[in-house]
Amino acid sequence: MEGLAQMQLEAVPEPSERLLVAHRQGDRDAFSQLIERYRRPVFGYLVRCGVAEGDRDDLFQEIFIKIHRRADQYDDARPLHPWLFTVVANTVRTYQRKQRLRSFFLWEPAGADVEPEFEDHSPDVEAIASSRQTEAWLERAIQALPMPQREVLILATIENVPLKDIASILEMPLNTVKTHVRRARLRLVACRERYERRTRVSHA
C-alpha cells in the first residue's frame, strides 16, 4: 500500500509553490514550468481586464519579470495563486492608472469609461451560431462590468480564488468583495435574460 501511495504521490504534479521556490534556488526550468502553468490565467486576466491588445504582450512579460524579481518576497508556506495574482492585479491597476493619466493629458476619453478593447469579436469557429452568440454576449457583459466588479468576478469565477484571498489581492474589505461579486453576477444574469429575450424575438 505504501508503494501505491508513493506512486499516487508521484502522479501529482510539482506544486506551483515548489516551482517558485526551485526557481529561487536557481532552477531555470522551474520558472519556465511556472510560466507554462500560469500563462493562460495571466493572459486571460489581462484580456478580460481590458488591457489594450498592443500592450498585453509587454504587460505579460512585465508581470513574470516582476514575479522573478520578487520571488524572494514570497512566503512558500502560503499558496502561490493569491500571491501571484496580487502581482498581476497590481500591475494591471498601475497600467490602467497610467492609461487614465495618458488619456487625460491627451484629451482622450478616460480608459475606465470606454468600452475596453477586447480581442477580436470575430465569429466563433465551427460552433453553432447560438453558441457563438452566447460566447460573445458573455464576454461583452464581462467587459461592461465596472472594473472592481470585473476584477472580483474574474478572480472568483474564472480563477477560482477564494473570496478572502481576493480581498487580500485587491486590498478590499471582504464584505466589499462579496458585494462586488454579488452585483457582478446579478448584472450577468440580467444581461443573459435580455439576451435570451432578444434571441427569442429574433427567432419568432
| Residues contributing to the site for another protein (CB under 8 A) | 4, 7-8, 10-13, 23-24, 26, 28-29, 31-33, 35-37, 39-44, 47, 56-58, 60-62, 64-65, 68-73, 119-120, 122-129, 131-132, 134-135, 138-139, 156-158, 178, 181-183, 185-186, 188-189, 192-193
- Of 61 and 94, the one with the shorter C-beta distance to another protein is 61
Query: Least distance from C-beta 79 to another protein, angstroms?
Result: 16
- Of 14 and 110, the one with the shorter C-beta distance to another protein is 14
- Of 113 and 120, the one with the shorter C-beta distance to another protein is 120
Instruction: Read off φ and ψ for residue 27, nearest 5 degrees.
Output: -85, 105
Query: Least distance from C-beta 44 to another protein, angstroms?
Result: 4
Q: Is 136 exposed, middle or buried (0-12, 13-18, 19+ CB in 10 A)?
A: middle
Give the 3-state secondary structure of the chain: CHHHHHHHHHHCCCCHHHHHHHHHCCCHHHHHHHHHHHHHHHHHHHHHCCCCHHHHHHHHHHHHHHHHHCHHHCCCCCCHHHHHHHHHHHHHHHHHHHHHHHHHHHCCCCCCCCCCCCCCCCCCCCCCHHHHHHHHHHHHHHHHCCHHHHHHHHHHHHCCCCHHHHHHHHCCCHHHHHHHHHHHHHHHHHHHHHHHHHHHHHHC
Query: Least distance from C-beta 11 to another protein, angstroms?
Result: 4
- Of 31 and 83, the one with the shorter C-beta distance to another protein is 31
- Of 90 and 157, the one with the shorter C-beta distance to another protein is 157
- Of 100 and 185, the one with the shorter C-beta distance to another protein is 185
Query: Least distance from C-beta 169 to another protein, angstroms?
Result: 18
Query: Least distance from C-beta 164 to another protein, angstroms?
Result: 13
Query: Least distance from C-beta 54 to another protein, angstroms?
Result: 9
